[in-house]
Amino acid sequence: MAAAGAACASPHSSLLLSRSRPHGLSPASYMPRRLILGVGTSAVAALAVATAPPAVLQDGAATLFATAGAYALVRTFDVLTERRLVEKSLSRKIVHVLSGVLFMASWPLFSNSTEARYFAAVVPFLNSLRLLIYGLRLYTDEALVKSVSREGKPEELLRGPLYYVLVLLFSVLVFWRESPIGVVSLSMMSGGDGFADIVGRRYGSVKLPFNQKKSWIGSISMFISGFLLSSM
Ligand SMILES: Nc1ccn([C@@H]2O[C@H](COP(=O)(O)OP(=O)(O)OP(=O)(O)O)[C@@H](O)[C@H]2O)c(=O)n1
Ligand SMILES: C/C(=C\CO)CCC[C@H](C)CCC[C@H](C)CCCC(C)C
């Protein structure tokens, strides 16, 4: 099994083994070993295929995991702001950064099937429904409003946060993991924009000549963090 595993791990190991005769082995004793290795390798490959979970199960589990993660993220920052461990405006930006970054980080959990992107799209879709329901005040969710709004008004959910999850939804459906356009755009929107705020608000005393609300350091942080994130 270990030998077969090693042969699987490196495609050359099986070739090397079949060309060179190990010391102390007669051709007679060596031949069956070659045979066993060959059979073992294909058996392990067949076993791996047979025991792999069906794509639909894998994608279903990944969707559940990411949906629960999104819920936990918002709850965590609600608790942190409630206990005054994190400032409200900082909490909103951290949720902004982490939502996109962790969502992209969850993509490898999905299978390679053609339907995988639709499963992944369920996560921003559910979150957009959630923002609509609470933003329109059909129900109330204090935690969500506190974690992602500026002033604590439910209507605010229908602006920045809703546009944000709709961009995630669009990018997953159109670009998924296959195009760098999606990854770069989401990295800029989540990481770049979030870091521009976090750094710019604290250290951005020198403003851009054409926009007095934005600073040089904030804009530079946006490009650097967006670039680093998309290259990861
Ligand atoms: N290039 C940038 C972007 C942002 N900022 C800083 O981050 C703050 C928020 O910027 P932004 O994220 O663009 O604004 P919003 O999220 O729309 O607004 P809010 O201030 O309500 O968070 C700005 O006021 C500014 O201090 C900056 O210095 N340079
Ligand atoms: C505060 C926000 C934008 C305005 O600046 C972001 C709002 C985020 C949403 C309420 C939650 C979005 C969750 C993502 C769709 C999925 C995250 C999954 C991950 C595994 C945690």
CB of 127 shorter than 6 A to ligand 2 = yes
Residue 198 token pair: 């976090």
d(C-alpha 101, C-alpha 211), whole Å = 28
Query: How many C-alpha atoms does 147 have within 13 Å on its Cβ side?
Result: 23
Render pLDDT for 56-72 as a digit per residue (tens, 0 to 9).
999 999 999 999 999 99
Secondary structure of residue 204 in the 3-state scheme: coil
Task: Assign 224 a pLDDT band (cuts: 50, 70, 90).
Answer: very high
To test the pocket of ligand 2, the residue of 164, 168, 170 to mutate (highest count of ligand atoms within 8 Å of its CB) is 164
Predicted pLDDT at 87: 87
- Asked if 175 contacts 182 with a C-beta cutoff of 8 angstroms, the reply is yes
d(C-alpha 138, C-alpha 232), whole Å = 40
In sign, the C-alpha dihedral spanning 86, 91, 95, 96 is: negative
CB of 165 shorter than 6 A to ligand 2 = yes
Query: pTM here?
Result: 0.79
ipTM summary value: 0.90
Give exposure, 158-167, as e/b (b: 16+ Cβ within 10 Å). Answer: eeebbebbeb
CB of 226 shorter than 6 A to ligand 1 = no
Which of 9-18, 22-31, 155-164 shows the lowest per-residue confidence on average (mean pLDDT)? 9-18
Going by C-alpha positions, the residue among 1, 129, 13 that lies closest to residue 71 is 129
Render pLDDT for 135-186 as a digit per residue (tens, 0 to 9).
999 999 888 888 888 888 999 999 999 999 999 999 999 999 989 999 999 9
User: Does residue 122 surpass a pLDDT of 70?
Assistant: yes
Q: How far is the CA of 201 from the centre of ligand 1 (A)?
A: 7
Any bridge partners for residue 207, and if so which?
215
User: Does residue 128 surpass a pLDDT of 60?
Assistant: yes
